[in-house]
Amino acid sequence: MKWPAWLNRTVLGAGIASFFGDLGYESVTVLLPSFLIILGAPVFALGIIEGLSDGASSFVKLFSGYFADKLGKRREFALGGSVATAIFPAIIAVATSWYIVLAGRLFGWIGKGIRSPSRDAILSKSVEKKDLGKAFGFHRASDTLGAVAGPALALILVASLGIREILLWAVIPGFIAFVAIWLFLRERDTSPHPRPRPLVASLKGLPSRFKAFLSAVLVFGIADFSQTLLIAFVIVVFTPPLGFAMATAAGAGLYLVRNIVYAGASYPLGLLGDRIGRRPVLVLGYALAVATFIGFVIAP
């Protein structure tokens, strides 16, 4: 069987790394609400942890992408960020208060912010422009398959292992992801930017349409919320009739279904974007998200 030209070493390696990376930290994500309840954390703790972690990740992406371009060290940035995302489950596993959980989550998500821009830049330059949708669709499908496997394993293991033990286990796939990036990702052009502009000047020089797109993403991000809040809601609702252990399993199961749908849609939608244009597919995705938000608001 002959492999398609776009499925090269870098695309395959990025897919493997994303699968195992998500396998590790999605195992943490699905159990985080239950772990915080065990620690006796206040209700607002999960919102603070998720909000600060996502905000820090987004903020770091801006600077890490700039300096990776400036120094010509995208692969090194991707590797460094992968180490942080591999280690953070162990920090959470030994936590005795939600403040330590916050520190561990921040450490891991800052690592994601360092890793993601460089990895995506390497990936985008590894294929022809006409194949970008397929390459990123494959990557997102691999990423989300890991997000399916992580909650599934957590769901299976939670009946026989403690949550702390599962969190410690999650370090292993994180380091497999690091090894995959180290072995497979190769950058076509590793030279530093010949005349790097200051960061502010670089931002001002972005095309106006791209600035408009970023503004729309910002507005959407303000309205968006973490899936862990929905998992926590399921656990709180189902604990009285089912008990804490079964409520934890129910939250993990519903999150697993969500990730299965996400994984199944990633590659077909990437392929569709190559054929009909990426803008219509992007608009469709945001429209579905808005419809979902409205559904949560009007649901009884």
pLDDT digit string, tens, across residues 214-251? 787 777 777 777 788 888 888 888 899 988 888 888 88
What is the model's pLDDT at position 214? Answer: 78
Q: Which pLDDT value is given to residue 173? A: 94
3-class secondary-structure state, position 126: coil
Helix (H) / strand (E) element for 289: namely helix 278-298
- Among positive and negative, which fits the CA dihedral 111, 186, 172, 144? positive
Residue 196 gets the label, from left (phi > 0), alpha (psi -120 to 50) or beta, of beta
First to last CA, the chain: 52
* Pairwise CA distance, residues 35 & 193, whole Å: 45
Position 27, amino acid: S
Residue 190 banded pLDDT, cuts 50, 70, 90: low
pTM exceeding the 0.95 threshold for the entire prediction: no
Rg over CA atoms, the chain: 20
Q: How far apart are CA 82 and CA 117, in angstroms?
A: 12
pLDDT at 143 over 90: no
Measured distance CA(75)–CA(125) in Å, rounded = 13
* Domain 9-186+206-298 coded CATH 1.20.1250.20: yes
Structure tokens at 10: 């870098």
Model pLDDT for residues 70-114, shown as the tens digit of each residue: 888 889 999 999 999 999 999 999 999 999 999 999 999 999 999
